[in-house]
Chain A
Amino acid sequence: MTAPPDDCLARNEWICGAYLSTRREILVDAVIQHLQLTAAAVAIALVLAVPLALAARRWRWAAGPVLGLTTILYTIPSLAMFSLLLPVYGLSAALVVAGLVLYSLTLLVRNILAGLRAVPEETRQAARGMGYGPLRLLLAVELPLALPAAMAGLRIATVSAVSLVTVGAIVGHGGLGNLIYSGMNTYFKAQVLTASVLCVIIAVAADLLLLGAGRLLTPWTRRRA
């Protein structure tokens, strides 16, 4: 009979170095899954949100339904959203991504639309006077000017998505949420705390990254401030 090892894992402590070193692969896998789910969801949401926002600004009648529908989607609880999509996607990562896309849409559409609407009419007329066609006006003038507001929405959407991915644990695709969920069932303190802290670190890092990217993309806003 060998005596059971007396380390922090055996004592089930909150902070445990042995946990980090023995489960490194599990943690890295979970972080990668977490990042993949978040990135895929935000990217798809962005691709959908831009045309929706453009349509809402172009046609007055489209604004009400677009904003109303995305807001309703935002009100649906995350756990319910993942469950509602269950018959469509089954127990897959696509289910979590689809749910997160629907969430991010509200934040992105609203902010992009606000940014587009804030472009001064004189600026638009000046560009038109310089011979800019509708497409060039959009790409070279309006979208860049809407960028700060859009980036603000993107930051909120990304940070929320990082924290909502954890709920995906209910279908087994929750990134770090899986570790929190299984840690809860086995009363594994170190695993729950480590996974939770990693979630927050990812969220903060993503926020800072987007903040930096926004500053690089819109150098003109810095001079004004």
Chain B
Amino acid sequence: MNTLADTWSWLTTATHWSGPDGVWHRLGEHLFLTGVCLLISCLIALPVALVLGHLGRGGALAVNLSNIGRAVPTFAVLVLLLLTPIGTYGQWPTIIALVLFAVPPLLTNAYVGMREVDRDVVRAARGMGMTGRQMLLGVELPLALPLVLTGVRIAAVQLVATATLAALAGGGGLGRIITAGFNLASTPQVVAGAILVAVFALLVESLFEAGQRLVPRRGREAA
């Protein structure tokens, strides 16, 4: 259990937390990368999924896209983008690869959520003379919200996890502590980095879970 003690002393050394290679800086990069990618993928996936779900079309697209997304290694996409002309523009290869990775679960969950809204409720809304837009935003979206948010949660956690791969391609983020540890042949640093990333991922997961618990309750109060 020598590694454990060494890891602990690595984590408790103040100099490892400060500076441009320190934990705080890497955590900031990680958070920024995850946040930007989550925002972009939501902006791309959610409108498409909500409209397709409202129209009841494109189910096969949503499901197949999700399956294909699993088969394509993110690491490969990252490196491929890095070697194209896009690779010269800083963070863009990482962001594009991560967005491509986060869109499928968002799309699938939002689409399924929209389709699982009770058809009678939708018909009642139409009978009341609601327009398509009113139905989509006022009826279907609130009812589909739990599943839509599940998709966002899955995407967010996967983004946190996958953003570590950026370090393999020379990007920033917490993964950098691990890859730097490998280069220094320092097992304590590698394990310390891994623990940090794992804790961060679990923290995001539980934050989203707590947030999600608040949403349906609010929905019920409003109803």
**Contact assessment for B79 and A87 in the assembled complex, using a CB-CB cutoff below 8 Å:** no
B129 contacts the other chain (CB 8 A): no
Alpha-carbon gap, A94 to B89, bound state (A): 37
Minimum CB–CB distance from B207 to chain A (whole Å) comes to 12
Tally B residues with Cβ within 8 Å of A: 40
Given contacts A170-B182, A207-B71, contact A83 B191 (CB under 8 A): yes
A residues contacting B by CB (< 8 A) are 72, 75-81, 83-84, 86-87, 156, 159-160, 162-164, 166-167, 169-171, 177, 180-181, 183-184, 187, 189, 192-193, 195-196, 199-200, 203-204, 207
Partner of A200, one of B71, B82, B164, B179: B71
Q: 1/0 per position for B187-203, CB-CB distance to A under 8 A? A: 10011011101100110
A-facing residues in B148-179 (Cβ within 8 Å): 157, 160-162, 164-165, 167-169, 175, 178-179
B164 A77 Cβ-Cβ under 8 A: yes
The residue that A77 contacts in the complex, of B75, B76, B191, B198, with Cβ under 8 A, is B198
| Residues of chain B contacted by A84 (CB below 8 angstroms) | 191, 194-195, 198
* Cβ contact within 8 Å between A87 and B3: yes
Contact yes or no, B187 A75, CB < 8 A = no
B82 CB contact (under 8 Å) in A75, A171, A184: A184
**Chain A residues with CB under 8 A of B67:** 159, 207
| A-contact bits for B80-91, CB 8 A (1 contact / 0 none) | 101100000000
Once A166-B76, A183-B79, A196-B80 are accepted as A-B contacts, the answer to whether A79 and B71 lie under 8 Å apart by CB is no
- Having A77-B162, A189-B83, A200-B73, one finds 9 other A-B pairs with CB under 8 Å, namely A76-B197, A76-B198, A79-B164, A79-B165, A83-B194, A170-B168, A171-B182, A184-B83, A196-B76
Can you offer 27 A-B residue contacts whose CB atoms are under 8 A? Answer: A75-B157, A75-B161, A76-B197, A77-B160, A77-B164, A77-B197, A78-B161, A78-B165, A79-B167, A79-B175, A79-B178, A80-B193, A80-B194, A80-B195, A83-B178, A83-B194, A84-B191, A87-B191, A162-B73, A181-B168, A184-B83, A189-B83, A192-B76, A192-B83, A196-B76, A200-B71, A204-B71
Contact status A81-B194, CB under 8 Å: yes
Tell me the interface secondary structure of chain A in the complex: helix
Q: Which residues on B sit within 8 Å (CB–CB) of A164? A: 73
Are A193's CB and B201's CB within 8 A? no
Flag if B168 contacts A80 (CB, 8 Å): no
Closest Cβ of chain B: how far from A194's Cβ, in Å?
11
> Pick the contact of A80 from B76, B80, B82, B164 — CB < 8 Å?
B164
**Within 8 Å of chain A (Cβ to Cβ): is B70?**
yes
In the complex, whether B94 has a CB less than 8 A from a CB of chain A is: no
Q: By CB atoms of chain B within 10 A, which of A184, A189, A200 has the most? A: A184
Q: Is the CB of A159 within 8 A of B70?
A: yes
Report the nearest B residue to A155, measured CB to CB.
B67
Which single residue of chain B is at the shortest CB-CB distance from A203?
Answer: B71
Bound together, the chains give a CA A187 to CA B170 distance in angstroms of 13
Smallest CB-CB separation from A73: which chain B residue?
Answer: B198
Query: Would B187 and A199 count as touching, CB distance under 8 A?
Result: no
A160 touches B179 (CB 8 A): no
Which of B4, B73, B194 lies in contact with A163, CB distance below 8 A? B73
Chain A residue contacts of B178, Cβ below 8 A: 79-80, 83, 170
The winner among B67, B70, B79, B161 for most chain A CB atoms within 10 A is: B79
| A83 & B190 in contact (Cβ 8 Å cutoff) | yes
How distant is the Cα of A189 from the Cα of B79 in the complex, in angstroms?
9
Is B205 part of the binding interface, using a Cβ–Cβ cutoff of 8 Å?
yes
- Is the beta-carbon distance between B70 and A177 smaller than 8 angstroms? no
